[in-house]
Amino acid sequence: MIGSVDPSRTFAHPLVAAHLAPGACRSLGAELARAGCDVAVFSSSPEYIETDVVRGYADACTERLPGRVAAYPPRHRDVDFGLSPRAHVRVEILRDTSGEWEVAFYRTLLVCDGVLLMGGGQSTRVAGIVALSQRLPLVPVAAFGGGAGQVWVNFDRVRNDADDADIRLMGDNWTPDSAARLVACLQRQRERKLRRLAEAESEQHAATRRAATGLAAAAVCLVTALTGLVTASPPRPARAQDLVVLVGAPLVAAAAGAIIRNSFEGDARWGRASVRGLGAGLVSVLLYFASQLLSVPTLLDALDVRRLLFFTIPLGFTAGFTFDLVFERLREGTVGPPSPPPPDPMAPGTAAPGQGASGARE
């Protein structure tokens, strides 16, 4: 609970209906007790809302449902809420090591499960902005104006786990049932946050499992591709099984390269990546074989599968690992074996323009 409704103070954003605020604070404290919440406060000074909240909280606590109040004063201050010794509430004084109240205040704010704001000035407004930025469940009671009213206006831009009905409720005028409705609103936000965090954690676990499965699949693909080196037949006229090994091993290596590449990305979808790798590997390997057949037409008459695999398996893996580059070159029409560079006219033994091989002018 954070805020102040002291009418003797001057606020940048004026209070509204301040005479109803003390009773509203006690009602909010009672509803927090009935909901089974612990309460974190920072001061027992009468100019802040904490004293009324704690007293209403203590009045609603019972032997069957006791309460807990965690007070976080600076090290040089004390708190006393004037509670009855028979109150079923435990007050814990948790002093901060810093002598400045702001340090204890904002440090504790970040570990709370929810924040209730009422009235207040600049510190209350900053606390609300911090809560919004950290996605903490937040209920600014706008009915009493002040800094809390300004925080409610900010909900129009940053809603976090609050919906339209929650935002309208926070801006309503104070009524006898407002305390129960606002505490229920705070609990709903907390439940949504817990569900969101659970879903995010589940998605993270699923992504981790997908990545691990993908890497295992990549390892199997690499072993399978390397097995082709062992099972390859000696040089002989090409048969169907030789062509299967010659083309299949580099393609499996290409799928492994694409999967490994995909494991570095945030969204690991190794099945889709393996298909892309197969496409890039197929294009690269077939173009390589086409260039070999053009230069050596009798290649298939005495096919040495094992010797070719020593080059095509790394070629397939590289094509799969860099499939985006392969597809980009394919769109540009530049995929294929590199063309030999033109001869250097200044190299020794190269005929100068207009000269024959002997160097004599024709």
Q: Measure the CA–CA gap between 262 and 259, rounded to whole angstroms.
A: 5
Please indicate, yes or no, if residue 345 is contained in any of the structural domains: no
Going from the C-alpha of 161 to that of each of 100, 140, 350, 362, the distances in angstroms are 32, 14, 77, 88
**For residue 352, pLDDT beyond 60:** no
Shortest CA distance to 35 belongs to which of 161, 196, 237, 181?
181
The number of distinct structural domains making up the chain is 2
* Whether residue 162 sits in one domain with residue 60: yes
Q: What is the mean pLDDT of residues 121-126?
A: 90
Q: Measure the CA–CA gap between 171 and 181, rounded to whole angstroms.
A: 12
- Chain centroid to Cα 37, Å, comes to 29
pLDDT digits (tens, 9 = 90+) for 299-315: 888 888 999 999 999 99
Q: What pLDDT sits at residue 267?
A: 67
Quote the domain boundaries for residue 226.
Answer: 207-332
Please indicate, yes or no, if residue 93 is contained in any of the structural domains: yes
* Whether residue 165 sits in one domain with residue 249: no
* Whether residue 78 sits in one domain with residue 19: yes
Q: What pLDDT sits at residue 358?
A: 39
* Whether residue 221 sits in one domain with residue 287: yes
* Whether residue 276 sits in one domain with residue 165: no
Q: What pLDDT sits at residue 333?
A: 64
Q: Give me the chain's average pLDDT, please.
A: 85
* Whether residue 219 sits in one domain with residue 126: no
**For residue 11, pLDDT beyond 90:** no
Please indicate, yes or no, if residue 170 is contained in any of the structural domains: yes
Q: What is the mean pLDDT of residues 149-158?
A: 85
Give the length of the chain: 362
- How many Cβ atoms from other residues are within 10 Å of residue 125's Cβ? 23
Going from the C-alpha of 254 to that of each of 181, 189, 231, 243, 330, the distances in angstroms are 60, 48, 19, 17, 16
Counting other chains too, the contacts that 323-329 makes at CB distance below 8 Å and 24 or more residues apart are: 323/254, 323/257, 323/258, 323/261, 323/273, 323/276, 323/277, 323/279, 323/280, 326/280, 326/283, 326/284, 327/276, 327/279, 327/280
Where among 132, 155, 176 does a domain terminate? Answer: 176
pLDDT digits (tens, 9 = 90+) for 192-243: 999 999 999 998 888 888 888 888 989 999 999 999 888 888 888 988 988 9
Please tell me which residue, 200 or 105, carries the higher pLDDT value. 200
Q: Measure the CA–CA gap between 189 and 109, rounded to whole angstroms.
A: 16
Please indicate, yes or no, if residue 196 is contained in any of the structural domains: no
Query: What is the phi/psi pair of residue 340, to 5°?
Result: -65, 140
What's the CATH code of the domain at 14? 3.40.50.450
- The answer to whether 161 and 24 are in contact (CB under 8 A) is no
For the chain, percent of residues with pLDDT exceeding 90: 39
Please indicate, yes or no, if residue 339 is contained in any of the structural domains: no
